[in-house]
């Protein structure tokens, strides 16, 4: 059962590139989590495991090139190993969408990155779709509608 608390994308310089919170927290709490986690995660060696305890929950993270994907999970409910796969699904989906995704793609097209994430994970952090193909088809369909809207306007 996946019940993510948050999904953060943070660069190696500890700059946030994307954040989505699935539990209501105050801005202060959010900042504290990010500020606490980043030194902890950046300080970890590559051979160490991708799971760490933080406060009342666990954190599962994975590094892709210069970006860290960080998820807060509920210890007794979430499957830590599966959370890693969810992160990977997300990365794969973005990779296909952008064609070899890099940090800059996400910085400049963050709203697309959000759209993809929202197709994958819904509500209070549960996985809603497991097929990469399905996710991308729907994103593409929505992009097309946006494009058509634009075209209509130009023609009229």
Cα distance from N-terminal residue to C-terminal residue, the chain: 49
Is 5 an interacting residue with respect to other proteins (CB under 8 A)? no
Applying CB under 8 A, among 34, 54, 96, 103 the residue interacting with other proteins is 34
DSSP 5: S
Residue nearer to other proteins on the CB measure, 100 or 147: 147
Is 39 an interacting residue with respect to other proteins (CB under 8 A)? no
Structural tokens at position 155? 């023609």
Q: What are phi and psi of 114, to 5 degrees?
A: -65, -45
Site string for other proteins, 12-31 (x = CB under 8 A): ----xxxxxxx-xx-x--xx
Residue nearer to other proteins on the CB measure, 100 or 127: 127
Q: Which of residues 129-148 bind other proteins (CB under 8 A)?
A: 129-134, 138, 141-142, 145-146
Residue nearer to other proteins on the CB measure, 56 or 100: 56
- Chain centroid to Cα 51, Å, comes to 16
Applying CB under 8 A, among 32, 36, 39, 122 the residue interacting with other proteins is 122
Structural tokens at position 147? 């494009």
Task: Return contacts of 18-23, CB within 8 angstroms, 24+ apart.
Answer: 18/106, 18/110, 18/113, 18/114, 18/117, 20/114, 20/117, 20/121, 22/121, 22/123, 22/124, 22/125, 23/124, 23/125
Sites of contact with other proteins (CB under 8 A): 1-2, 16-22, 24-25, 27, 30-31, 34, 45-53, 56, 75, 79-82, 84-86, 88-89, 107-108, 110-111, 114-115, 118, 122-124, 126-134, 138, 141-142, 145-146, 149-150
């Amino acid at each position: 059962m996946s019940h993510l608390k948050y999904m953060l994308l943070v660069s190696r310089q500890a700059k946030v590139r994307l954040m989505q919170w699935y539990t209501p927290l105050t801005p202060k709490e959010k900042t504290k989590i990010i500020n606490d986690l980043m030194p902890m995660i950046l300080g970890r060696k590559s051979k160490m495991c991708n799971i760490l305890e933080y406060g009342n929950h666990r954190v599962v993270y994975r590094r892709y090139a210069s970006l860290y994907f960080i998820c807060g999970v509920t210890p007794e409910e979430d499957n830590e190993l599966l959370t890693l796969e969810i992160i990977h699904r997300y990365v794969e989906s973005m990779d296909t969408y952008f064609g070899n995704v890099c940090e800059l793609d996400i910085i400049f097209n963050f709203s697309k990155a959000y759209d993809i994430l929202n197709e994958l994970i819904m509500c209070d952090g549960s996985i809603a779709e497991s097929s990469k193909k399905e996710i991308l088809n729907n994103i593409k369909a929505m992009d097309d509608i946006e494009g058509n809207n634009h075209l209509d306007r130009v023609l009229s």
